[in-house]
Amino acid sequence: MRRILIVDTTLRDGAQSPQVTFSVEGKVRFAQQLERLKVDVIDAGYPALSAEERAAVERIAQSVSSTTVMALAHGDEVEIEVAAKALAQAPKKRIHLYIPVSDIHRRYLLRGGERDEVLKTSIALVEKAVSLADEVEFTPGDAARADEGFLKEVCCGVEEAGATVINLSDTVGVAIPSKWYRVVKGVVDALKGNAVVSSHCHDDLGLASANSLSAIEAGASQIHGTIGGVGTRAGNAAIEEIAVALKIWGEELGVECLLNLKEIYPTSRLLTMLTGCMLPSHKAVVGDLAFVHTIEEHRMAVVKDHRAVQIVDPQSIGRPSSRTPITRYAGRMMFEQKVHELGYTLSEGQLSKAYQLFSSIAWKKSDVTDADVAAIVEEVISEHGSEWELVSFSISMESGCAPRAKVSLRRGEVEVEEEAEGNGPVDAAFKAVERATETTARLVDFSVRALTYGKDALGEAIVRVKLGNRERVGRAVRTDVVEAAIRAFLKAIDE
Ligand code: MN
């Protein structure tokens, strides 16, 4: 069986999505989760980009125990040195070089050049990087639109120079599976076999995962992807889609991928928790509705044998089951058992808080599903010693009048009450909170969604604010979306 290596680039390419904002601390936590997911390589970032990016790569390099950490350097030697330095403490260091090779990208993108110049620079940079890292990955950018002869020339040149991985990038997401197969196969056949061939696909045609699988069939042994397929424009190949596809078809393809599938769903939830990015509810594998059946016959079949209508057991990818809801009468012991069953370990204090929140929610909701319990636990885990506490709030609305909100907040011994008008109830509430806390945060984005299915579903609110230059995210779940929104806002400005 040929082993397929997985490179997670959520922290770099994924973070190019305007919906994905990580703090440095958040990046470290996410990298540690990627290690539990057992990805082979963590693409930690581009250290030459900024001091914050550099700090994040350094912290990730220090915080993982065995996973290879990769850092990007574009086309010059100084950036390679910066990347190598940031990776210094990684268990295994990989430098990633990116140079555009298609004519159109050479012409219009930074650090382009004539073909022979690109070839010479690529070789020189690989030689430099080889002396500073354990592994060197070279990406010829926009490979799908490059002249195939020139692409092979560059790939053979950098292989000769010591690149250990050649990562063909469909930077603009234009490829279709048959085309991508030919491009990858062409390079695999041209190389001497010293470098691993890799594929990096974008989803502009909705084909990133399909193209990645084509690349594997063509001989690629490494795939780049992000959790939930997040990334710039339409995003990247979704790691979870490829991993599940390989679980089903790996044997037939003669390949295997050693990802710890049980950690797929928790990783996607952590992404939402840390960045505020909500994945589309119909997204394959990790979407909220990905395992919800509406056809009666199918619902009955799932109970008898899920394989009849489901290609994968949701619990095998770490999704909490909703088969055994717990009710408002559940005692603390039963709640604790459920939390444990879902794979969470909480401190005594966290457990008390979570139980309290569960009890208050359970009285407003007929059944509390596993997904609800998971959301409650995640809310408690993500708390970071919030300064402000919501004591009470009220909203008054009447058609024809601007909604008014009154909030009462407590910080230590001090209680503050403020009122404000707004365009809508949530806007009014945020304005009242801003007055009460005297914050200068600017609201960037606010979203709310039903977390589970059904009319009394829990509402999850995610608020993104800008404090100075930094974006902060707050998240909260409640049966009442206005309350969830206020709490999420308080968390965002408190961070
Ligand atoms: Mn990309």
pLDDT digits (tens, 9 = 90+) for 272-310: 888 888 899 899 999 988 888 888 888 888 888 888 889
Tell me the residues surrounding ligand 1 (ion) with CB < 5 Å: 13
Ligand 1 center from residue 156 Cα (angstroms): 22
Cα separation, 158 vs 162, in Å, equals 6
Ligand 1 center from residue 208 Cα (angstroms): 11
What's the pLDDT score for residue 10? 98
Ligand 1 center from residue 167 Cα (angstroms): 11
Q: How many CB atoms lie within 10 A of CB 342?
A: 16
- Looking only at Cα atoms, what is the longest distance across the chain? 74
DSSP per position, 199-266: EEEB-TTS-HHHHHHHHHHTT--EEEEBGGG--STT-B-BHHHHHHHHHHHHHHHTEE----GGGHHH
Ligand 1 center from residue 236 Cα (angstroms): 7
What's the pLDDT score for residue 322? 55
E strands of 331-403, at which residues? 389-396
Ligand 1 center from residue 492 Cα (angstroms): 29
* Bridge partner residues of 223 (DSSP): 6, 199
Ligand 1 center from residue 231 Cα (angstroms): 8
Contact 140, 151 (CB under 8 A): yes
Q: Residue 245: what residue type?
A: A
Contact 190, 166 (CB under 8 A): no
Residue indicated by tokens 């000769």:
160
What's the pLDDT score for residue 136? 98
Ligand 1 center from residue 180 Cα (angstroms): 15
Contact 102, 142 (CB under 8 A): yes
Ligand 1 center from residue 197 Cα (angstroms): 16
Residue indicated by tokens 């424009």:
233
> Which residues of the chain fall short of a pLDDT of 50?
none
Ligand 1 center from residue 233 Cα (angstroms): 10
Query: Who's near 195: CB < 8 A, 6+ residues apart?
Result: 155, 158, 159, 163, 164, 165, 166
Cα separation, 30 vs 268, in Å, equals 10
What's the pLDDT score for residue 386? 65
Ligand 1 center from residue 428 Cα (angstroms): 40
Ligand 1 center from residue 105 Cα (angstroms): 14
What's the pLDDT score for residue 340? 82
Cα separation, 447 vs 425, in Å, equals 14
Q: CA 90 → CA 69, 93, 138, 200, 398, distances in Å?
A: 6, 6, 19, 23, 59
Ligand 1 center from residue 200 Cα (angstroms): 7
CA dihedral 246, 204, 140, 222 (to 10 degrees): -10
Q: How many CB atoms lie within 10 A of CB 375?
A: 25
What's the pLDDT score for residue 55? 97
Q: pLDDT tens digits for 202-235?
A: 999 999 999 999 999 999 999 999 999 999 999 9
